[in-house]
Amino acid sequence: MWKELIGQLHHDLKFFPPASAAMIADAERKLAISFPDDLRELLQESNAVVGPIGLGLVWSVEEIVRTNLEFRGSEEFRGLYAGFDQLLFFADSGTGDQFAYRIEAGVTPDIGILEWNHENDSRVYVAPSLERYIQQTLQAYA
């Protein structure tokens, strides 16, 4: 479903072999959260989606874990930004800004996607769903 949907939105995309349920479960354990269903389903179809000009439209499971652990554990970031424990980063804009789900008590409530701005630490909702985030992002490259 996801590869089909995304593939209809843009022709310059790269899909990858699917992430296994075990990979996703391991990532959830490492991050102490539950992935939202839509992200889990997408990753089980393609473990990352790279968009035009190398855009990290959706990161791989490994990149999601690495980036989130890095941001949460960085002493430097603690002095510059509000905490990142309440975010699950899964994509980037290519300019330093990143896209995330909000985390509440280890789960990602169905409240949409937000963009974290690395320059001013703002966290602004940009889409009501993963599907809408992908549509909006790829429209900018049409």
In the chain, the amino acid numbered 96 is G
Torsion of the alpha carbons at 24, 28, 29 and 33, rounded to the nearest 10: -170
Give the whole-angstrom CA distance, residue 32 versus residue 27: 8
In a domain, 68, yes or no: yes
Range of the domain at 125: 2-136
- Domains held by the chain: number: 1
The span from the first CA to the last CA of the chain, in angstroms, equals 21
In a domain, 141, yes or no: no
Give the whole-angstrom CA distance, residue 10 versus residue 100: 22
In a domain, 109, yes or no: yes
> CATH code at 35?
3.40.1580.10
Which residues of the chain are modeled with pLDDT < 70? 105-110
* E strand spans, 1-67: 14-15, 49-50, 56-58
Choose among 21, 62, 42: nearest CA to 113: 42
In a domain, 105, yes or no: yes
